[in-house]
Structure 1
Amino acid sequence: MKKLLLFGAAVLLMAVTVTTQAQDISNTQTSSHSKWYLKIAGGYFFSVSPGQFPNVGPYPPQDLHTEFNPTNANPLDTISRKVLTGSYGEGFRGGLSVGYNINKYLSVEGTFNYFHSKKNLMTRQQTTLVGTSKSLGSVESHGYVNAVDFAPSLVVSPGLEKVNPYVRFGVVVPLWGRLYIETDATQVSAVPPGAPVPAGTQILTTINRKEEIKPNVTVGFQGALGVSFMVASRFDVFVEAEYRNVPVRSKEKEITRYNETTQFINGSTGAVLGDARPPRTLNDLSTAEKNTVYETTLDQNSNTPINQQGTKVIYKDNNKASNDLKSYINIGGLGLNVGLKFRL
């Protein structure tokens, strides 16, 4: 991360040094204002290159509806199936920039941006009883991204005063980011034989969890086409269309919230009759269940699942982080920004 920050600073320094040496003194601004300026902007970005979402644990990125028919040899019939696609580049972005006018045609900027993506449906699987709408089990996960980045860039314009079009281009260096995935799951199952409960009793298991996926360090690219309008001697209003391409790889994951309840219910009315077993919380998860390290390739040395007891997953080594395949997302997109520029 330090190397990337140094790289961004070096880009700005080189741009200032080279273009300052090449500038024509006659083009120097006659204004008494400083060559430094500040910009604040906000905008909304749209996805331009949607792809298939990564798996959520063992669940693929699908919207799947199956029906349970106990009279069939294969009791699960697929009613509908849809692949879920999208991008984490759609959402709101706000930025604060510091810029320097090298001459009336060129300037350099360094921008700190905060981005919050919209929530995306990553997986949804539901099983209903044949001929009814009664749910026997469901899993639904939504994901969203929060991120902070630094974007050094070069701005080129014809140097007009009242209405000044410009082109801006540079790199994007993510400083911090998380992919958050929130999952809700339910399952209705039969009571084990001999359990001292009334006839018609079933077991309902409900799970709510949240996981945070940390990214690997990466570098992206950005470019914008905009117009600046002078509204006062020190103030401009600007609008711009911006494109960003910021691919991100997963590095590691941690489950930060986990609540699981297992209760006896009346099979006809759904009324809760009592706890079937004690609730399971975040502290009850093993290290392997709670933490994951992503790898490009899984082999016999990877810490992968070997068994499952109810909702508890058993790994080769429950006392160290599990391993899973890396996933890839893009938090770039095409957006429209509006903002205010203040000349110091």
Structure 2
Amino acid sequence: MKSFFITLTLVCALTGTLYAQKGFYLKVDAGYSLAFGKIRATDPMYSIYSSTTLSFGKGLQGGISGGYSFNQYLCVELSVSYFLSSKTVTHQNFPIYPSDTIKIDRSQQSHMLRFLPVFVVTADKHKITPYGKFGPVFGIGNIVTDESSYNGALQTKLKMYGGFPIGIYSCVGILYILSDKLQLYAEINNLNMIYAPTKGKYTKYTINGADQLPVLSTNMKEIEYVDSSPIQSTDSNEPQKILKTYYPFSSVGLNAGVKIGF
């Protein structure tokens, strides 16, 4: 009888402990990532005096996450983060007849809102506890290109947008447990993603400081990016068609933040 009560007490205690591991939590974090997987940012057909490769994986991000712990080992989590890429600057000479060149200076930057539904697997809880995360990532974003040519006489800003990039996300991290409800964490993450915008629109087009957007036709200020060789329309009220470009957004990064349990 005594052993029965001891066993019952242990079972109740264990059940209570496991139940205490269940529940919702909130996380806030920020981080920085480095890019991998690049494409050439300048056209090799032209005379290039400063060539560079292009990737939008490098930059700053901040986010908020909500999750639910089924037990001390398994959680599901939805993260929403905002990513701002570092600027990529290129300079290029474009030859024109008979022996002159046009200097083109270009700056490109991306903004993206990311959604990450992931599984979280955690080791046995200690003061410092390792964990891993994995799942898909979905994005809504744009790429903005500022360009200056003809010694600064022509200034343009092109916003490329549309499309729905999808990638794969994984990370490993450590929790530093301050209390049952408050924890600090740091993690190294890996993101594999490419993005091909489907639309483009000039939001700035000036010549010698004078705004030309009001007089430009739709064909000159709007772009539709397509999968196969485009057949250009002769209708000036339709966007011009250009083949899609797939831009790399893959990265390796470091995040740190706070986790609050409820």
Which stretch of structure 1 is more off in the superposition, 231-240 or 148-157? 231-240
1:41–1:337 Cα contact (<8 Å) kept: yes
Question: Could you tell me which amino acid in structure 1 is paired with residue 239 of structure 2?
Answer: A
> Residue 6 of structure 2 aligns with which residue?
none
Distance 1:166 1:150 in 2: 20
**Conserved? CA contact 2:59–2:84, under 8 Å:** yes
Instruction: Give 5+ residue unaligned stretches, structure 1.
Output: 1-24, 54-59, 65-77, 128-134, 188-204, 263-278, 304-315
Of 220, 223, 228, the residue aligned with 2:170 is 223
Residues 63, 84 of structure 1: 8 Å contact kept: no
C-alpha distance in 2 between matches for 1:27 and 1:150: 34
**How far has the Cα of 1:149 moved from its partner?**
1.4
Task: Establish whether residue 186 from structure 1 lines up as the match of residue 150 from structure 2.
Answer: yes
User: 1:232, CA displacement in angstroms?
Assistant: 2.9
Aligned match of 1:163 in 107, 128, 146?
A: 128
Q: Is the radius of gyration larger for structure 1 or structure 2?
A: 1
What is aligned with 1:248? 195
SS of 2:197's partner is strand
Number of equivalent positions: 246
3-state SS in 2 of match to 1:250 = coil
Amino acid at match of 2:138: V
> 2:19·2:71 contact (CA, 8 Å) conserved in 1?
no
Equivalent runs, 1:155-304 vs 2, <5 Å: 155-174=120-139, 176-187=140-151, 206-261=153-208, 279-299=210-230, 301-303=231-233
Question: Structure 1 CA distance, aligned partners of 2:120 and 2:213?
Answer: 49
2:40 corresponds to: 52
Question: What is the alpha-carbon distance in structure 2 between the residues aligned to residue 213 and residue 138 of structure 1?
Answer: 23
Instruction: Kindly state the Cα deviation for residue 62 of structure 1 after the two structures are TM-superposed.
Output: 5.6
Q: Give the whole-Å Cα distance in 1 for the aligned partners of 2:219 and 2:245.
A: 18
- Say what the alpha-carbon RMSD is for the aligned residues: 2.5
Deviation, structure 1 residue 219: 1.6
Question: Which residue in 1 is equivalent to 2:87?
Answer: 119
Q: 1:90 aligns with which of 58, 62, 68?
A: 58
TM-score by length of 2: 0.85
Write the distance in 1 (CA, Å) between the matches of 2:236 and 2:150. 25
Residue 341 of structure 1 is matched in structure 2 by 259
Say which SS state the counterpart of residue 161 (structure 1) adopts.
coil
Q: In structure 2, what is the Cα distance between the partners aligned to 1:214 and 1:33?
A: 42
Given candidates 39, 58, 67, the residue that maps to 2:27 is 39
- Alpha carbons of structure 1 residues 223 and 27: separation in structure 2 relative to 1, 3 Å: farther
1:326 is matched with 244
Residue aligned with 1:289, SS: helix
Please state whether the residue corresponding to 1:246 is helix, strand or coil: strand
- Deviation string 1:187-236 (CA, Å, 9 cap, x unpaired) is 5xxxxxxxxxxxxxxxxx70111111013123211000100001233211
Residue by residue over 1:145-184, the C-alpha shift from the partner in whole angstroms, topping out at 9 and shown as x without a partner, is 001011000011113131110010001011x211000111
* 2:5 paired residue number: none
Identity %: 23
